[in-house]
Amino acid sequence: MNKIKGNLTPPKILVIGFAIVIIIGAILLTLPLATEDGKGLSFLEALFTATSATCVTGLIVVDTGDTFSLFGELVIITLIQIGGLGFMTFATLLFMLLGKKISFKERLVLKEAFNNISTAGLVRLVKRILIFTAIIEGVGGIILSIRFSFDFPLPQAIYFGFFHAISNFNNAGFDLMGNFSSLTSYVADPTVVITISLLITLGGLGFVVMNELYEYRETRRLSVHTKVVLMATLILTVGSTILIFLFEYGNEKTMGPLSLAGKSLGALYQAVSPRTAGSNTLPIADLTYPTLFLTIILMFIGAGSGSTAGGIKITTFAVLMSTVWSQLKGKEDVVLFKRRIMIETILKALTVATSGALIVMLVTFLLSITEKGSIFIMYLFEATSAFGTVGLSMGLTPELSTFGRILIIFTMFAGRLGPLTLAFAITKRRKQEAFHHPKGNIMIG
């Protein structure tokens, strides 16, 4: 692991940087002008909200639309934008505006932030990220503003349109509809559902994928990473939409009263949002158990590596599934799109998935001890949502105890940065083994 200054490695800089952004945001949200009642939030409520916004999660202990003033909402949307794109993206933008050259030290941190393979072309990538973001959020904001203008006064419609565009492109899931209702009133609205679903999907592809798609007209080639992300995203989205449509078709509390088109839109949104946006058009607590379990799986998987989304990442899931399939077929190599996957990649995928599963299990176990009066699936759902930085909840979040809120804060932080980044930030620099032990065999299965 390359060092920057003293003992500050890139993972440590990312952890410290995100922590500083969260603390500043929390302090701002405790100010009287941050809330409608002029009292501000308690520090724990502010810390929870700031962590949820910066880690682009969307779990809330107070309703965003009802609680915060314009100042408070602007603080939240700023934290979402910084958290989604990464504070190093904005630091790089500032350096460029000041005419400062991006040093190799900063490039190492950018490489870690985007989970990139090398430092080559990172500054150009950052510039394109900012352009892509401005265009996508701008177009999404305009479309949503026009749609919301039929329901709200024009200034409020424009504000709502761009707030929800930024929130959902960054996979945050914060909304301004009030009363913890999210977007349930727009469940059968094709403009809102399709626009926000596209924003969520684009934000979850990953900036490297978006950049390769942009350059495809010249290069006429896509890396195996991009192919895996695109194919897995398509399979999970289509497959989950079909399953949720079947699971919720006759559920009178969710999609039962809707038309066929409304049911299709409701199923689509519920399939896209868990990876990992967090807004919802169907009442989460009323979903059937099969849909809830499927949602937990989707939240744990997440979206693309180097994106605004959380979870173990869709590429990790694809590599693990391919490894299992290769073993079942008796093949030595793991192959995706006619490319052999390196053993280092497989081991990293296994480590990320196992670490994530252990975190979710531990948090679920602790919540089952400290939070009384709820069913078990609510604890598992909450823990997975926090780790996957999703923001969906069955209603447990506002009822969390002090310990439960602190636990979820740490879980959201770990989920946004990733288990490996946190581990590399805490542990000492990895050293090459001076010698190798003799090989040993263990019976498996």
List the single range of 86-90, 153-157, 214-218, 344-348 with lowest mean pLDDT: 86-90
Look at 2 and 421; give whichever has higher pLDDT.
Answer: 421
Give yes or no for residue 128 having a pLDDT over 90.
no
pLDDT per residue over 186-207, tens digit each?
999 999 999 999 999 998 898 8
Q: How far is CA 228 from CA 76, 272, 378, 421, in A?
A: 33, 17, 32, 23
What residue spans define the domains of the chain?
Answer: 10-426
* pLDDT of the residue at 367: 95
Q: pTM for the full model?
A: 0.90
User: Rounded distance, CA 268 to CA 245, Å?
Assistant: 8
Average model confidence (pLDDT) across the chain: 87
Q: Average pLDDT of 330-342?
A: 90
Q: Average pLDDT of 61-76?
A: 94
Give yes or no for residue 429 having a pLDDT over 60.
no
Q: Are 308 and 171 in contact (CB under 8 A)?
A: yes
* pLDDT of the residue at 115: 61
Q: Average pLDDT of 176-184?
A: 82
Q: Are 298 and 386 in contact (CB under 8 A)?
A: no
Give yes or no for residue 104 having a pLDDT over 90.
no
For 185-196, give one letter per residue: b (16+ CB within 10 A) or e: ebbbbeebbebb
Amino acid at 292: L
Give Cβ neighbours of residue 90 (< 8 Å, ≥ 6 apart): 82
Q: What is the dihedral of CA 354, 298, 59, 288, to 10 degrees?
A: -120
* pLDDT of the residue at 428: 54
* pLDDT of the residue at 1: 45
* 303 Ramachandran zone, left/alpha/beta (phi>0; psi -120 to 50): beta
Tokens 């761009």 sit on residue: 162
pLDDT per residue over 252-310, tens digit each?
999 999 999 999 999 999 999 998 788 899 999 999 999 999 999 999 999 888 787 88
Give Cβ neighbours of residue 136 (< 8 Å, ≥ 6 apart): 169, 199, 202, 203
Q: Are 405 and 62 in contact (CB under 8 A)?
A: no
Phi and psi at residue 35, to the nearest 5°: -120, 160
Q: Average pLDDT of 34-58?
A: 93
Give yes or no for residue 167 having a pLDDT over 90.
yes
Give yes or no for residue 364 having a pLDDT over 90.
yes
List the single range of 95-99, 115-119, 333-337, 345-349 with lowest mean pLDDT: 115-119
* pLDDT of the residue at 416: 85
Give start and end residues of each alpha helix (H) in 206-288: 207-219, 224-248, 260-272
User: Rounded distance, CA 188 to CA 178, Å?
Assistant: 19
Burial of 228 (C-beta count, 10 Å sphere; 0-12/13-18/19+): buried
Give yes or no for residue 152 having a pLDDT over 60.
yes
Long-range contacts of the stretch 236-241 (C-beta < 8 A, 24+): 236/271, 236/275, 236/298, 236/301, 236/314, 237/201, 237/268, 237/271, 237/272, 240/270, 240/271, 240/274, 240/294, 240/298, 241/267, 241/268, 241/271
SS3 helix, strand, coil % of the chain, rounded to 5?
A: 65, 0, 35
List the single range of 4-13, 44-53, 187-196, 198-207 with lowest mean pLDDT: 4-13
> Percent of the chain at pLDDT above 70?
87
